[in-house]
Structure 1
Amino acid sequence: MAQSTHKRVLKLMGSRFEITVIAKDSIEANNYIDLAIEEISRIEKLISSWDPNSQTSEINSNAGIKPIKVDKELFDLISRAIKISELTDGAFDISYASMDRIWKFDGSMTEMPSEDEIKASVEKVGYNNITLDPENSTVFLKHEGMKIGFGAIGKGYAADRAKTLLVSKGVKSGIINASGDMTTWGRQTNGEEWKVAITNPLNKNKAFALLPITNGAVVTSGNYEKYVNFNGTRYTHIIDPRTGYPATGIISVTVFAPKAELADALSTSVFVMGKEVGLNRIEQLPNIECIIIDYQGNIFKSKNIKINKL
């Protein structure tokens, strides 16, 4: 029986999600897409720091007070996040959530925050102060005022989980696209691989490469609109959790990895680490590739990527 492609676009986790499945008809496709939405909503309830009833909020409101028992799923996600922090020397850090929002990227900033303000803004940040107890499945934030948040990993994780669920239900092929965090499996109806267009932010109407992705994930981090200029330096909205200073020099990072969660976390980290350290770190990791575009529009890529220019 001929299979066809079905897609639904909706807002989940405060972001635009596009769920694409290949199915025999729209009834089957809609059932599958509903399952994916249910799964993403379930994860949002677990990891949302905006929802006062979530386990994540409970961890945050008990910072400096007591450890909180959490589901194994959340415990494991936090545990993996800490491993990524170690891997990136703290460029990725889920305890960034306690950072004071002293940088404004809405045009209202007229001068840079002072050095003291910047230093104070990250005082409560530090993944080393997240204590995990695997035996009791508890999470404890050592200092009062500490907070964790999954802004740089949550959508990727949700996309991975939705994909795993659909694969287990027998969906042969599809894409979960969580606002640019994409995870794919299978092939298009014509037998070709799914392809992702890489665009240069300085010329958004024109993709410079179309890359095939087979059963993997690709995430692009970068917001070319959100930045401020001070003293001839362009500061982007992605802030280094170690220093409190925004990342500079890069406007777009695309990471290819087996899972969207990892690609999501690494794409943010590369921004913060900068292109030399970032590329070097990526090249040490198996099955992970990366494309970086700097603010002058130059393209840098990890050594195993073959780009066929359009």
Structure 2
Amino acid sequence: MKHFFALLLPLLLLSGCAGREGDPQTAQIFAMDTIMDFTVYGPSATDAIDSSTQEIQRLERLLSRTLETSEVSRLNESAGKASETTKEVSSLLEKAVRLSAATGGAFDITVAPLASAWGFTEAEYRVPSEEEISQLLPLVGSGRIHITGQQVELADGMAIDLGGIAKGYASDQVERTLQGYGVESAIISLGGNVYARGTKPDGGPWRVAVRDPGDPADYVGMLLLEDAYAVTSGGYQRYFEQDGQTYHHIIDPSTGCPADSDLTSVTVVSSSGTVCDALSTALFVLGEQGAVGLWEGTEWERGFDMVLVTEDGRVLITAGLADRFEPKEGSAYVYETLS
């Protein structure tokens, strides 16, 4: 069996010149099981990065399913009975449940037992039997999470995994930290969950490349971002092979298996990192028709745009990105705008 890993880290094309705020402060850390990069301009850049790093580490200690001392692990251990949690965790769980309902269950934090069955949580990859999957499927369903204030109750045997939303939430918290330090120009990549604050020091938009899922060393186009989040999900990011078959990490909650999607990559752009993170997973699970239908027919608390890369070689860009997306010249992909 071969194991493959690919960081969700869109190429960040940054200005090489010192702008009105001078040279940037940069940093790289490893947290939430991924590499995170910071490029921050301004007199408070160093302090802003330090505080952002501390905040991310705090959230990892709170939200990680793999840390035995985390709040999420404690809730999972308490499945079958009500348990008091922090206001922050209960609020995030409520948002996750709402996002699950809004996506028809395509995003669901209760797939944790299935993720473990496939070995993605512990990096011990295996293909579970149909019988094992059928036994675990009844444990999946965010509607079975009961939240009353700060009281949370999971059904017996259930477990939650916030891996599909935690980095997005962390990027929202980093945005608040940067704002608190008066930072006006920065770009942050939390394992590929990108947040572009303001513009580059020269006044131009940040240029973020959307990776080519067929060749992660290449890209399909460039997003031009200002004060926006962009998150990509794709089967190429984490997967394994067994008996000539490839299995990726994005589990379809309705089947218990890696999503059989006609999409190879989904990038969501929004004013909320949390929403971007959850939707990028959900839209991949839904496939092209479901993703387009959700974009066209759902009223969101915050709107979103998307870039879909299909198995048959098309790149679909929603109308809101029409003037903020540059196709790669000479690409073999066919580019279409959804309106």
User: 1:281 maps to what in 2?
Assistant: 294
- Decide which of 32, 54, 59 is 2:75's aligned counterpart: 59
2:37 maps to amino acid: E
User: 2:22 maps to what in 1?
Assistant: 3
Using the alignment, how far apart are the partners of 1:187 and 1:85 within structure 2? 33
Shift of 1:156: 1.0
- Decide which of 37, 43, 49 is 1:18's aligned counterpart: 37
1:219 partner SS: strand
TM-score (norm 2): 0.81
Using the alignment, how far apart are the partners of 1:53 and 1:102 within structure 2? 22
**Does the 8 Å contact 1:235/1:247 carry over to 2?**
no
Higher RCO (Cα < 8 Å, 6 or more apart)? 2
1:242 partner SS: coil
User: 2:251 maps to what in 1?
Assistant: 239
User: 1:39 maps to what in 2?
Assistant: 55
**Does the 8 Å contact 1:4/1:22 carry over to 2?**
yes
1:120 aligns with 2:132: no
1:280 maps to amino acid: G
Distance 1:130 1:197, change over 3 A: same
User: 2:212 maps to what in 1?
Assistant: 200
**Does the 8 Å contact 1:195/1:213 carry over to 2?**
yes
2:321 partner SS: coil
2:204 maps to amino acid: E
Query: Root-mean-square deviation (CA), in Å?
Result: 2.5
Using the alignment, how far apart are the partners of 1:80 and 1:256 within structure 2? 18
2:91 partner SS: helix
Per-residue CA distance 1:62-90 (angstroms, 9 max, x = gap): 1103x111221111100000000000111
The 5 A counterparts of 1:129-144 are 129-134=144-149, 137-141=150-154, 143-144=155-156
Distance 1:197 1:244, change over 3 A: same
Range that drifts further, 268-277 or 223-232? 223-232
User: 2:174 maps to what in 1?
Assistant: 162
Using the alignment, how far apart are the partners of 1:39 and 1:225 within structure 2? 25
The 5 A counterparts of 1:121-270 are 121-134=136-149, 137-141=150-154, 143-224=155-236, 226-227=238-239, 235-248=247-260, 249-270=262-283
Distance 1:295 1:102, change over 3 A: farther
Per-residue CA distance 1:138-157 (angstroms, 9 max, x = gap): 1111x222111111000111
Using the alignment, how far apart are the partners of 1:235 and 1:293 within structure 2? 19
Alignment length (residue pairs): 301
Using the alignment, how far apart are the partners of 1:15 and 1:229 within structure 2? 22
For structure 2, the residue ranges without an aligned partner over 5 or more in a row are 1-19, 329-339
2:312 maps to amino acid: Q
1:97 maps to amino acid: A
Range that drifts further, 204-213 or 79-88? 204-213
- Decide which of 321, 326, 329 is 1:308's aligned counterpart: 326
Per-residue CA distance 1:114-142 (angstroms, 9 max, x = gap): 433322232211111100002xx11111x
Using the alignment, how far apart are the partners of 2:238 and 2:192 within structure 1? 16
1:147 partner SS: coil
User: 1:90 maps to what in 2?
Assistant: 105
